[in-house]
Amino acid sequence: MKLYTFLFLISAASLAFQVSLTRLFSLAQGSHLAFMAVSLALLGAGASGTYLSRRGVSPQHLPRLLAVSGIAFVLSVPAAYLVVNTLPFDAYRLAWEPLQLLWLTLYYLALAVPFFFSGLAVAAALAVWTERAGAVYAANLLGSAVGAPLALLLLANFGGLLHVRLTPYKALSQALLYPGSDILISRWNAFSRVDVIRSDGIRSAPGLSFAYTGTLPSQLGLTVDGDNLTPVTAPGDPAFTAHLPLALAFTLRPNADVLILEPGGGLPVLAALQQGARSVTVVHGNPTTARLLTEDLASFNGAIYHDRRVRLVVDQPRSFLRRTPHRYDLVIFPLSDSFHPVTAGAYSLNEDYRYTVQAFADALARLNPGGLLVAERWLQLPPSESLRLWAVTLAAHRRFALPAAPTPASTFAIRSMQTALVAASNTALPPEDLATIRRFARSRQFDLVYLPGIRPEEVNRYSVVPEAAYYRSFRALVDAAEPDLFFNSYPFAVDPPTDNRPYFFNFFKWRQVPEIWQSLGKTWQPFGGSGYLMLVVLLGLAVLLSLGLILLPLLWQKTADPPQPGPGLPPSLSPVSLLLYFFLLGLGFLFVEIPLLQQFILYLGQPAYAFAVVVATLLAAAGAGSRYLSTRLSLRVALTGVVVLALVYPPVLAGLFEATIRLPWAGRVGIAVAALLPLGVLMGVPFPAGLRWVGRAAPRWVPWVWAVNGCASVVSAVLAALVSLSWGFSAVLWSAAAAYALAAGVSRHWD
């Protein structure tokens, strides 16, 4: 019992540290590197198998080894934290400073050390107690299941005690360079750090008209995880908000019932109130941001959130859109993040469920007749971010299938020098709306981009761009008989994202590689032009390290007895079959976990809560399956069951979510747990069942197959991100099904 308790505790601590690392990566370098924590953990665990395969472990030495592993883990955790804050790794300089690749490797290896010691404890217990592999593995999984919510609880309550060195390219770092700037408020929760900056250098009014001649209001800056600085604006002359592009929405629909999704520091809310909205429902996904704006900053922002017309909802925008029965005159997706050059690619790995076809279709469904969906994004040349927003809007409108409102007659777009505003209605735009849009654009010196009946001579008048690029690309997409042909020929990826592939900021195409390669070391571009290529670098590094961990035991064990068939042992237990079987299990497990986590974010609302529920449920269920079914259930049945469920889950979950999305949060958690249990229980069977066969055929190979399994998981953590970027989450689940099917084929004679 003491052994199981020890394994439970060290596994819980290990996963809690892993989750904490994802937060540190997200804050220090950016969320595009946060998944590295998963890879680091599995690399360390795999390395422990390599060590044991060379050293070996006997039953009499197991207690001492476990004690040393536990103490070393405790000591190495703060050491790893110091590494995060002292190694001069800078992801933005990888493109032109080769030394950064060395720092990345050291970063990778140093942070894997704590996981080496926690993995060593589990691997040693499995090597000694192979016949009890189900119970040992269950203790490991159940402890890990507790570690996930434990980490979120600790971060929410003690995250403010952590010192994290931010990359100098974060918006917070840049804002603090201005003389006299300081952090006014800093708050942590389970999934973010929110900072409020006081600085005379903060002047943020994206898209503000050249025609505005008044003074700019006082502003503070608000950042989440040090990025995406948005203004907290003191009320002033209403003429200021009247000269923002968003004012067109309130001009077209005066006295409107308005829904604003994620308004950042609250400027869109101020604009709605000053421009005459009748009621304003505001949805904030981050409770800390909402609390700051309604309490700490109320005296600065004019207490706009306490206005009788304002209703604040703390929820994820998509969850709110799916559940609310109310209809609005305006549904607004405001510009609430910083400008990021499309060539940078630093944010291409960030999923965003606000800007998908399904999200915009949900918004259209929440409009009153004649209502408007309005969204604003940054301008870039060639048209990319704004063009993808246009593509999402058109695709959602066509998906909504409004026979009385053909898409070309129900959509429009205007632009300032910095931003594009795109809108769609559920009815054809009447002549008076078209006249209002033209009049508004002329008075504010905004350019028309697309309007029903627009003429070429009406465009590109004020902020002139070569060849009227925005008008031509927007018009070409409207007129395209087959939009896919347009997207395939366009130099950037601007096809509309979906819930299955919600990467709005990933504009990468492989045809860009020669241009990116030529720019390496010559331009100031993080990752040489694409975050996608950063993933490729990490995948290459993971493969090299993993192959080393797999091949080294083979070289060291030349004199070790290979698995030998004997009485009751199948002849198919060969080194190759063992290698392939445990490698496939390592690939398959994360290929199931990662996409399911992403899909449940939409259902459960908050990413942190989705993470806690999905990871804890899958690991706890797998632990139960390992403990109670691995000796009772046929390996063939378990693997076949995983394959079938992985194949059917994407469509089944979509229908389940649609049918139950309006349940209270506790009810949805119950549904999520019930949906995940069958798959989790079956996933807990193959590893301990296979390990018992190894223990009978060649006990000295137990640490080796542990290393193989861990190293495959290292690769799968990065590979899953690449597959989801290219083909979507369903493709990752289908890849998991393929991995488990191959594992079933390898082990077909083991039962």
User: Does residue 311 sit in helix, strand or coil?
Assistant: strand
The residues near 552 (Cβ < 8 Å, ≥ 6 apart) are 50
- Helices 2-28 and 99-128: crossing angle, nearest 10°? 170
Residue 443 in this model has a pLDDT that exceeds 50? yes
Q: Please indicate whether residue 97 or residue 112 has the higher confidence score (pLDDT).
A: 112
Half-sphere exposure of 428 (CA within 13 A, CB side): 10
Which one, of 391, 412, 411, lies nearest residue 492 by Cα? 391
Which one, of 42, 46, 55, lies nearest residue 14 by Cα? 42
CA angle (357 as vertex; 355, 363 as ends), nearest 5: 80
CB 134 within 8 A of CB 627: yes
| Strand ranges of the sheet holding 219-224, from the earlier edge strand across to the other edge | 182-188, 193-198, 219-224, 227-233
Q: Please indicate whether residue 655 or residue 412 has the higher confidence score (pLDDT).
A: 412
The type of residue at 698 is A
pLDDT tens-digit profile of 540-569? 777 877 777 666 665 665 545 555 555 555
**Band of residue 517 on the pLDDT scale cut at 50, 70, 90:** low
What residues does 193 pair with on adjacent strands? 188
Neighbours of 344 (CB within 10 A): 19
Domains observed in the chain: 2-165+529-746 (1.20.1250.20), 219-505 (3.40.50.150)
Residue 585 in this model has a pLDDT that exceeds 50? yes
729, two tokens: 């989450």
pLDDT tens-digit profile of 368-399? 999 999 999 999 888 999 999 999 999 999 88
Q: Which of 213-217, 538-542, 574-578 has the highest mean pLDDT?
A: 213-217
Predicted TM-score of the model (pTM): 0.90
Question: What residue has token string 């503070």?
Answer: 220
Q: What number is the average pLDDT over the span 561-590? A: 73
Quick one: which H or E segment has residue 418? none
> Tell me, what DSSP letter sits at residue 180?
T
CB 493 within 8 A of CB 481: no
pLDDT tens-digit profile of 629-640? 988 889 899 999
User: Does residue 193 sit in helix, strand or coil?
Assistant: strand
The type of residue at 693 is W
Q: Phi, psi at residue 261, to the nearest 5°? A: -105, 120
Half-sphere exposure of 443 (CA within 13 A, CB side): 14
**Residue-level pLDDT at 94:** 66
Whether the upstream peptide bond of residue 408 has omega within 30° of 0, thus cis, is no
User: Rounded distance, CA 410 to CA 662, Å?
Assistant: 30
User: Rounded distance, CA 196 to CA 706, Å?
Assistant: 46
User: Rounded distance, CA 178 to CA 196, Å?
Assistant: 15
User: Does residue 103 sit in helix, strand or coil?
Assistant: helix
* E strands in 416-518: 419-425, 447-450
**Band of residue 253 on the pLDDT scale cut at 50, 70, 90:** very high
Q: What number is the average pLDDT over the span 529-533? A: 59
Distances (CA, A) of 240 to 168, 218, 274, 609: 32, 12, 10, 39
Q: Please indicate whether residue 421 or residue 503 has the higher confidence score (pLDDT).
A: 421
User: Rounded distance, CA 334 to CA 313, Å?
Assistant: 16
**Band of residue 527 on the pLDDT scale cut at 50, 70, 90:** very low
Q: How many residues does the chain have?
A: 751
316 torsion bin: left (phi>0), alpha (psi -120 to 50), beta (else):
beta
Half-sphere exposure of 45 (CA within 13 A, CB side): 27
* E strands in 154-239: 182-188, 193-198, 219-224, 227-233
pLDDT tens-digit profile of 139-185? 999 999 999 889 888 888 887 787 888 878 788 998 999 999 999 99
What sign does the CA torsion over 426, 430, 433, 437 have?
Answer: positive
Secondary structure (DSSP) of 579-614: HHHHHHHHHHHHHHHHHHHHHHHHHHSSHHHHHHHH
223, two tokens: 């950042």
**Residue-level pLDDT at 275:** 97
Q: What number is the average pLDDT over the span 466-473? A: 94
pLDDT tens-digit profile of 28-52? 776 656 666 667 677 788 888 888 8
pLDDT, averaged across the chain = 87
pLDDT tens-digit profile of 670-689? 999 999 999 999 999 999 99
Which one, of 684, 683, 707, lies nearest residue 694 by Cα? 707
726, two tokens: 């290219």
What residues does 188 pair with on adjacent strands? 193
CB 113 within 8 A of CB 78: no
Residue 305 in this model has a pLDDT that exceeds 90? yes
Beta strand pairing status for 257-261 and 328-333? parallel
User: Rounded distance, CA 375 to CA 389, Å?
Assistant: 8
CB 506 within 8 A of CB 349: yes
**Residue-level pLDDT at 524:** 46
User: Rounded distance, CA 132 to CA 627, Å?
Assistant: 9
